[in-house]
Structure 1
Amino acid sequence: MWLRDPFQRFYPDGDFQIACDTYKYNSTDLRNLPNGGFTYVKSNNRTIQFYKFWYNGKDYFPGIHDQDVFNRIKFNPFIVEIGLKIRFLDTAYFGGFCQPSKDLDLVVTMHANCCLGLENKIHDIKMVIEDWKRYMGLMAAGQKNLSNGSWTAPWRCGMKNSKNPRIAPFRSFSVN
Protein backbone atom coordinates (compact mmCIF):
# COMPACT_ATOMS: atom_id res chain seq x y z
CA MET A 1 0.00 0.00 0.00
CA TRP A 2 1.23 3.46 -0.88
CA LEU A 3 0.68 5.75 2.09
CA ARG A 4 2.88 8.72 1.13
CA ASP A 5 4.83 10.03 -1.84
CA PRO A 6 7.93 7.80 -2.04
CA PHE A 7 10.09 9.99 -4.29
CA GLN A 8 11.77 11.96 -1.52
CA ARG A 9 13.02 8.68 -0.02
CA PHE A 10 14.78 7.38 -3.13
CA TYR A 11 18.56 7.62 -3.37
CA PRO A 12 19.66 10.10 -6.06
CA ASP A 13 22.61 7.88 -7.06
CA GLY A 14 20.69 4.60 -7.24
CA ASP A 15 19.99 3.01 -10.63
CA PHE A 16 17.96 0.11 -9.24
CA GLN A 17 16.21 0.48 -5.88
CA ILE A 18 14.24 -2.31 -4.27
CA ALA A 19 12.21 -2.87 -1.11
CA CYS A 20 13.32 -5.50 1.40
CA ASP A 21 11.87 -8.37 3.34
CA THR A 22 14.78 -7.88 5.75
CA TYR A 23 16.88 -4.70 5.79
CA LYS A 24 20.38 -4.78 7.29
CA TYR A 25 20.56 -1.00 7.95
CA ASN A 26 22.88 -0.30 5.03
CA SER A 27 21.36 0.54 1.65
CA THR A 28 24.31 -0.89 -0.30
CA ASP A 29 24.67 -4.16 1.64
CA LEU A 30 24.02 -6.98 -0.84
CA ARG A 31 23.10 -9.24 2.09
CA ASN A 32 19.80 -7.37 2.40
CA LEU A 33 16.91 -9.65 1.49
CA PRO A 34 15.01 -7.80 -1.25
CA ASN A 35 11.38 -7.99 -2.18
CA GLY A 36 10.51 -7.35 -5.81
CA GLY A 37 7.05 -6.08 -4.90
CA PHE A 38 8.31 -2.48 -4.95
CA THR A 39 11.15 -1.20 -7.13
CA TYR A 40 12.26 2.15 -8.46
CA VAL A 41 14.43 1.96 -11.57
CA LYS A 42 16.11 4.69 -13.61
CA SER A 43 16.05 3.95 -17.30
CA ASN A 44 19.66 3.97 -18.52
CA ASN A 45 22.17 1.65 -20.22
CA ARG A 46 23.17 0.08 -16.89
CA THR A 47 19.62 -0.89 -15.95
CA ILE A 48 18.85 -2.12 -19.46
CA GLN A 49 21.90 -4.41 -19.33
CA PHE A 50 20.94 -5.47 -15.82
CA TYR A 51 17.39 -6.43 -16.79
CA LYS A 52 18.69 -8.48 -19.73
CA PHE A 53 21.10 -10.19 -17.34
CA TRP A 54 18.32 -10.83 -14.83
CA TYR A 55 15.96 -12.11 -17.52
CA ASN A 56 18.63 -14.52 -18.79
CA GLY A 57 18.99 -15.78 -15.24
CA LYS A 58 15.87 -17.90 -15.72
CA ASP A 59 17.94 -20.11 -18.05
CA TYR A 60 20.63 -20.62 -15.39
CA PHE A 61 18.20 -21.07 -12.52
CA PRO A 62 15.24 -22.89 -14.12
CA GLY A 63 12.06 -23.07 -12.09
CA ILE A 64 13.20 -20.39 -9.64
CA HIS A 65 11.13 -17.27 -8.93
CA ASP A 66 12.56 -14.04 -10.41
CA GLN A 67 13.13 -12.57 -6.94
CA ASP A 68 15.25 -15.59 -6.01
CA VAL A 69 17.18 -15.22 -9.27
CA PHE A 70 17.89 -11.60 -8.29
CA ASN A 71 19.14 -12.77 -4.88
CA ARG A 72 21.69 -14.91 -6.70
CA ILE A 73 22.80 -12.53 -9.44
CA LYS A 74 23.20 -9.46 -7.21
CA PHE A 75 26.62 -10.84 -6.17
CA ASN A 76 27.75 -11.47 -9.75
CA PRO A 77 30.82 -9.45 -10.88
CA PHE A 78 28.83 -8.37 -13.95
CA ILE A 79 26.87 -5.96 -11.71
CA VAL A 80 30.08 -4.13 -10.78
CA GLU A 81 31.35 -4.38 -14.35
CA ILE A 82 28.37 -2.47 -15.76
CA GLY A 83 28.51 0.04 -12.89
CA LEU A 84 24.96 -0.63 -11.68
CA LYS A 85 24.21 1.08 -8.40
CA ILE A 86 21.82 -1.12 -6.42
CA ARG A 87 20.18 0.42 -3.37
CA PHE A 88 18.00 -1.39 -0.87
CA LEU A 89 15.14 0.64 0.56
CA ASP A 90 15.01 1.04 4.33
CA THR A 91 12.06 -0.74 5.94
CA ALA A 92 11.63 2.28 8.23
CA TYR A 93 10.05 3.91 5.15
CA PHE A 94 9.23 0.96 2.87
CA GLY A 95 7.96 -1.57 5.39
CA GLY A 96 6.21 -4.85 5.04
CA PHE A 97 4.90 -7.68 7.13
CA CYS A 98 8.38 -9.24 7.35
CA GLN A 99 9.87 -6.12 8.91
CA PRO A 100 7.13 -3.51 9.52
CA SER A 101 7.87 0.21 9.67
CA LYS A 102 7.74 1.12 13.34
CA ASP A 103 7.12 4.87 13.02
CA LEU A 104 3.81 5.87 11.44
CA ASP A 105 5.21 9.39 10.99
CA LEU A 106 7.79 8.01 8.53
CA VAL A 107 6.23 5.06 6.73
CA VAL A 108 5.75 5.45 2.96
CA THR A 109 4.57 1.97 1.91
CA MET A 110 3.46 -1.24 3.57
CA HIS A 111 3.80 -4.49 1.64
CA ALA A 112 1.94 -7.72 2.38
CA ASN A 113 5.11 -9.80 2.16
CA CYS A 114 6.00 -12.85 4.28
CA CYS A 115 2.43 -13.95 3.93
CA LEU A 116 1.00 -17.15 2.55
CA GLY A 117 -2.51 -17.15 1.17
CA LEU A 118 -4.59 -14.41 -0.38
CA GLU A 119 -7.13 -14.53 2.45
CA ASN A 120 -4.38 -13.86 5.02
CA LYS A 121 -2.97 -10.97 2.96
CA ILE A 122 -6.39 -9.37 2.57
CA HIS A 123 -7.11 -9.75 6.28
CA ASP A 124 -3.87 -8.07 7.35
CA ILE A 125 -3.98 -5.35 4.66
CA LYS A 126 -7.45 -4.43 5.92
CA MET A 127 -5.89 -4.04 9.37
CA VAL A 128 -3.24 -1.74 7.87
CA ILE A 129 -5.97 0.36 6.22
CA GLU A 130 -7.83 0.69 9.54
CA ASP A 131 -4.61 1.60 11.39
CA TRP A 132 -3.80 4.21 8.75
CA LYS A 133 -7.30 5.71 8.90
CA ARG A 134 -7.03 5.93 12.69
CA TYR A 135 -3.59 7.55 12.45
CA MET A 136 -4.73 10.07 9.82
CA GLY A 137 -7.78 10.90 11.96
CA LEU A 138 -5.53 11.69 14.91
CA MET A 139 -3.31 13.83 12.68
CA ALA A 140 -6.36 15.71 11.36
CA ALA A 141 -7.46 16.31 14.95
CA GLY A 142 -4.13 18.04 15.56
CA GLN A 143 -2.49 15.41 17.72
CA LYS A 144 1.26 15.50 17.19
CA ASN A 145 4.09 13.18 18.18
CA LEU A 146 2.30 10.01 17.20
CA SER A 147 5.43 7.97 16.58
CA ASN A 148 4.51 5.75 19.50
CA GLY A 149 1.50 4.57 17.48
CA SER A 150 1.98 1.19 15.89
CA TRP A 151 0.44 -1.29 13.50
CA THR A 152 -1.94 -3.97 14.64
CA ALA A 153 -0.89 -5.92 11.54
CA PRO A 154 0.60 -8.30 10.73
CA TRP A 155 -1.64 -10.65 12.62
CA ARG A 156 -1.91 -13.61 10.23
CA CYS A 157 1.20 -12.73 8.24
CA GLY A 158 4.73 -11.74 9.11
CA MET A 159 8.15 -13.24 9.63
CA LYS A 160 6.96 -15.49 12.45
CA ASN A 161 4.42 -17.09 10.08
CA SER A 162 6.65 -17.39 7.03
CA LYS A 163 9.72 -19.17 5.77
CA ASN A 164 12.33 -16.74 4.56
CA PRO A 165 14.14 -18.23 1.52
CA ARG A 166 17.83 -18.90 1.85
CA ILE A 167 20.12 -17.21 -0.60
CA ALA A 168 21.76 -19.82 -2.78
CA PRO A 169 25.47 -19.75 -3.56
CA PHE A 170 26.70 -17.59 -6.42
CA ARG A 171 26.69 -19.08 -9.92
CA SER A 172 28.20 -17.17 -12.79
CA PHE A 173 26.56 -16.57 -16.14
CA SER A 174 26.59 -13.87 -18.78
CA VAL A 175 24.27 -11.76 -20.92
CA ASN A 176 23.71 -12.93 -24.50
Structure 2
Amino acid sequence: MDGCFMQIILVVQGERRKRRRDARNGGAHTTGDARRHAGGAQDDSDLVRDGFESSPPWFFVLLAVRDEQLLGQALCNYAYSSWTGRSFYLEDLYVYPHVRRLGVARRLLQHLCEMAVKKGVSRIDWHVLKNNAPALALYARTGARDMCLTEGRVALRLDAPRIQAVAQGHLLPPAPAQV
Protein backbone atom coordinates (compact mmCIF):
# COMPACT_ATOMS: atom_id res chain seq x y z
CA MET A 1 0.00 0.00 0.00
CA ASP A 2 2.84 2.41 0.73
CA GLY A 3 3.87 2.31 -2.93
CA CYS A 4 0.32 3.12 -4.07
CA PHE A 5 -1.03 6.64 -3.99
CA MET A 6 -2.94 7.21 -0.77
CA GLN A 7 -4.14 10.61 0.29
CA ILE A 8 -4.81 11.68 3.87
CA ILE A 9 -7.48 14.37 4.02
CA LEU A 10 -8.42 16.56 6.98
CA VAL A 11 -12.19 16.95 6.80
CA VAL A 12 -13.36 20.48 7.46
CA GLN A 13 -16.83 21.95 7.77
CA GLY A 14 -17.19 22.99 4.10
CA GLU A 15 -16.39 19.45 2.89
CA ARG A 16 -19.00 17.71 5.04
CA ARG A 17 -21.45 16.64 2.34
CA LYS A 18 -18.87 15.31 -0.11
CA ARG A 19 -16.86 13.44 2.51
CA ARG A 20 -19.93 11.90 4.13
CA ARG A 21 -20.93 10.65 0.67
CA ASP A 22 -17.39 9.27 0.18
CA ALA A 23 -17.63 7.51 3.54
CA ARG A 24 -20.94 5.94 2.57
CA ASN A 25 -19.52 4.74 -0.76
CA GLY A 26 -16.29 3.44 0.79
CA GLY A 27 -17.81 0.46 2.53
CA ALA A 28 -20.16 -0.64 5.26
CA HIS A 29 -18.44 1.27 8.06
CA THR A 30 -18.65 4.87 9.17
CA THR A 31 -17.85 6.16 12.62
CA GLY A 32 -21.56 6.31 13.41
CA ASP A 33 -22.07 2.73 12.21
CA ALA A 34 -19.20 1.53 14.40
CA ARG A 35 -20.64 3.20 17.48
CA ARG A 36 -24.07 1.69 16.94
CA HIS A 37 -22.51 -1.76 16.41
CA ALA A 38 -20.59 -1.36 19.69
CA GLY A 39 -23.76 -0.39 21.55
CA GLY A 40 -23.50 3.38 21.17
CA ALA A 41 -26.72 5.32 20.87
CA GLN A 42 -25.43 8.16 18.69
CA ASP A 43 -26.22 8.43 15.01
CA ASP A 44 -24.67 10.32 12.11
CA SER A 45 -26.72 13.44 12.90
CA ASP A 46 -24.71 13.77 16.13
CA LEU A 47 -21.48 13.55 14.14
CA VAL A 48 -22.69 16.24 11.76
CA ARG A 49 -23.83 18.53 14.58
CA ASP A 50 -20.74 18.11 16.75
CA GLY A 51 -18.07 18.00 14.06
CA PHE A 52 -19.40 20.19 11.29
CA GLU A 53 -22.07 22.51 12.67
CA SER A 54 -20.70 23.51 16.08
CA SER A 55 -18.17 26.26 16.52
CA PRO A 56 -15.58 25.28 17.44
CA PRO A 57 -16.08 21.68 16.30
CA TRP A 58 -15.82 18.98 18.99
CA PHE A 59 -13.62 16.81 16.77
CA PHE A 60 -11.80 16.54 13.47
CA VAL A 61 -11.50 13.62 11.05
CA LEU A 62 -8.67 12.36 8.90
CA LEU A 63 -9.63 10.16 5.95
CA ALA A 64 -7.29 7.81 4.09
CA VAL A 65 -8.44 7.76 0.46
CA ARG A 66 -7.17 6.06 -2.69
CA ASP A 67 -8.87 6.45 -6.06
CA GLU A 68 -11.81 8.15 -4.29
CA GLN A 69 -12.35 5.06 -2.12
CA LEU A 70 -12.29 5.42 1.65
CA LEU A 71 -9.64 3.14 3.20
CA GLY A 72 -9.75 4.27 6.81
CA GLN A 73 -10.36 7.15 9.16
CA ALA A 74 -9.15 8.71 12.38
CA LEU A 75 -11.58 10.68 14.53
CA CYS A 76 -9.75 12.93 16.99
CA ASN A 77 -10.44 15.79 19.33
CA TYR A 78 -8.43 18.58 20.83
CA ALA A 79 -7.49 18.19 24.46
CA TYR A 80 -5.39 20.09 26.96
CA SER A 81 -3.19 18.90 29.77
CA SER A 82 -2.26 21.09 32.71
CA TRP A 83 1.02 19.13 32.75
CA THR A 84 2.01 19.13 29.08
CA GLY A 85 -0.24 21.62 27.28
CA ARG A 86 -1.84 20.97 23.90
CA SER A 87 -2.92 17.39 23.23
CA PHE A 88 -4.91 15.31 20.79
CA TYR A 89 -7.16 12.46 21.81
CA LEU A 90 -7.52 9.74 19.16
CA GLU A 91 -11.07 8.51 19.65
CA ASP A 92 -11.40 6.14 16.71
CA LEU A 93 -8.86 4.72 14.28
CA TYR A 94 -10.55 2.45 11.77
CA VAL A 95 -9.19 0.75 8.65
CA TYR A 96 -11.46 -1.26 6.37
CA PRO A 97 -10.75 -5.01 6.62
CA HIS A 98 -9.74 -5.43 2.96
CA VAL A 99 -6.84 -2.96 3.36
CA ARG A 100 -5.63 -3.82 6.85
CA ARG A 101 -1.91 -4.49 7.37
CA LEU A 102 -1.10 -2.44 4.26
CA GLY A 103 0.08 0.76 5.98
CA VAL A 104 -3.19 2.70 6.16
CA ALA A 105 -3.26 3.04 9.96
CA ARG A 106 0.42 3.94 9.99
CA ARG A 107 -0.18 6.74 7.45
CA LEU A 108 -3.14 8.06 9.43
CA LEU A 109 -1.01 8.11 12.58
CA GLN A 110 1.88 9.71 10.72
CA HIS A 111 -0.39 12.47 9.41
CA LEU A 112 -1.85 13.03 12.87
CA CYS A 113 1.71 13.36 14.24
CA GLU A 114 2.58 15.81 11.46
CA MET A 115 -0.44 17.90 12.48
CA ALA A 116 0.63 17.65 16.12
CA VAL A 117 4.10 18.98 15.30
CA LYS A 118 2.63 21.91 13.32
CA LYS A 119 0.16 22.79 16.09
CA GLY A 120 2.60 22.45 18.98
CA VAL A 121 0.84 19.41 20.40
CA SER A 122 2.98 17.64 22.99
CA ARG A 123 1.08 14.37 23.33
CA ILE A 124 -1.53 12.13 21.72
CA ASP A 125 -3.59 9.84 23.93
CA TRP A 126 -5.92 6.97 23.05
CA HIS A 127 -7.33 3.70 24.32
CA VAL A 128 -7.07 0.30 22.68
CA LEU A 129 -8.61 -3.03 23.59
CA LYS A 130 -6.16 -5.46 25.20
CA ASN A 131 -7.09 -8.17 22.68
CA ASN A 132 -6.35 -6.04 19.60
CA ALA A 133 -2.90 -7.52 18.98
CA PRO A 134 -2.35 -6.02 15.48
CA ALA A 135 -3.11 -2.52 16.75
CA LEU A 136 -0.96 -2.99 19.84
CA ALA A 137 1.92 -4.16 17.64
CA LEU A 138 1.63 -1.07 15.43
CA TYR A 139 1.42 1.24 18.44
CA ALA A 140 4.49 -0.40 19.97
CA ARG A 141 6.39 0.34 16.74
CA THR A 142 5.49 4.03 17.10
CA GLY A 143 6.95 4.07 20.61
CA ALA A 144 3.58 4.58 22.30
CA ARG A 145 3.60 3.51 25.92
CA ASP A 146 1.02 1.84 28.12
CA MET A 147 0.09 4.51 30.66
CA CYS A 148 -1.08 1.88 33.14
CA LEU A 149 2.39 0.32 33.17
CA THR A 150 4.51 3.48 32.97
CA GLU A 151 2.48 5.86 35.15
CA GLY A 152 -0.01 3.65 36.97
CA ARG A 153 -2.92 5.44 35.30
CA VAL A 154 -6.35 3.86 35.18
CA ALA A 155 -8.90 4.81 32.52
CA LEU A 156 -12.16 6.00 34.10
CA ARG A 157 -15.49 7.08 32.64
CA LEU A 158 -18.78 8.56 33.74
CA ASP A 159 -21.63 7.65 31.39
CA ALA A 160 -24.65 9.94 30.87
CA PRO A 161 -26.80 8.60 33.76
CA ARG A 162 -23.94 9.02 36.24
CA ILE A 163 -23.05 12.45 34.83
CA GLN A 164 -26.63 13.54 35.49
CA ALA A 165 -26.61 12.00 38.97
CA VAL A 166 -23.33 13.65 39.97
CA ALA A 167 -24.49 16.97 38.52
CA GLN A 168 -27.47 16.70 40.90
CA GLY A 169 -25.17 15.92 43.82
CA HIS A 170 -25.93 12.18 43.98
CA LEU A 171 -22.76 10.27 44.71
CA LEU A 172 -22.56 6.54 45.25
CA PRO A 173 -21.80 5.26 48.75
CA PRO A 174 -18.07 4.89 49.46
CA ALA A 175 -16.59 1.58 48.37
CA PRO A 176 -15.46 -0.68 51.21
CA ALA A 177 -11.76 -0.42 51.99
CA GLN A 178 -9.68 -3.03 50.18
CA VAL A 179 -7.14 -4.99 52.18
TM range, smaller chain: under 0.3
Instruction: Compare the two structures and name the one with the higher strand fraction.
Output: 2
| TM-score normalised by length of structure 1 | 0.26
Structure with more relative contact order (C-alpha pairs < 8 Å, separation 6 or more): 1
Instruction: Compare the two structures and name the one with the higher helix fraction.
Output: 2
